[in-house]
Structure 1
Amino acid sequence: MKEFVTIAVFTYPHEIAILKHLLIESGINFFFENETMTAIVPMYSFALGGIKLKVHPNDIETVKTILKDFSSNTNLRIV
């Protein structure tokens, strides 16, 4: 996990709900740093620097494409 890099940062747990499923479907190795703490105490998100999506460097381009499609698809947006 040391070689994983931060590719995106989110503020609230609900922002990553659908994204997590898209990454799993694509077979991407990932984890969300600070996900558990912000689920318990949402306002800690600001103190911790947000929920950080960490991926392996080999998957960066694929994840960038998924993030771009995710943000541009209004049917997948939660808020």
Structure 2
Amino acid sequence: MKDFITAAVFNYPHEITILKHLLKEEEIQHYFENETIADLMPMYSYANGGIKLKVHPNDLDTVKEIISKLDTGTNLKIV
């Protein structure tokens, strides 16, 4: 996981709930940096630079496509 890069940054835990499911469904290895602290103290998310979605560089294009579809192709939008 040391080679993972930031694919997207979110401010609140509720923004990543559906995205987590979609990434697991596509079997893309990922993790959300700062997710736990944002759950415990939501306003600290800004101080820590947000909740960062980390993925392997080989999966970056697929992840960006998933985020794009989620943001434009459905009624479920990333806030």
One-letter identity of the residue aligned with 1:40: L
Structure 2 SS opposite 1:19 = helix
Long gaps (5+) in structure 1: none
| Corresponding residue of 2:71 | 71
Q: What's the C-alpha RMSD, in Å, of the aligned pairs?
A: 1.2
Q: How does 1:1-79 map to 2 (within 5 A)?
A: 1-77=1-77
What are the Cα deviations for residues 13-66 of structure 1, in whole angstroms up to 9, with x where unaligned? Answer: 000000000000011000000000000000000100000000001101100100
TM-score by length of 2: 0.94
Long gaps (5+) in structure 2: none
Runs of 4+ with deviation above 4 angstroms:
none
Shift of 1:75: 1.9
Q: What count of residue pairs does the alignment treat as equivalent?
A: 79
What is the identity percentage for the equivalent residue pairs of Structure 1 and Structure 2? 63
TM-score by length of 1: 0.94
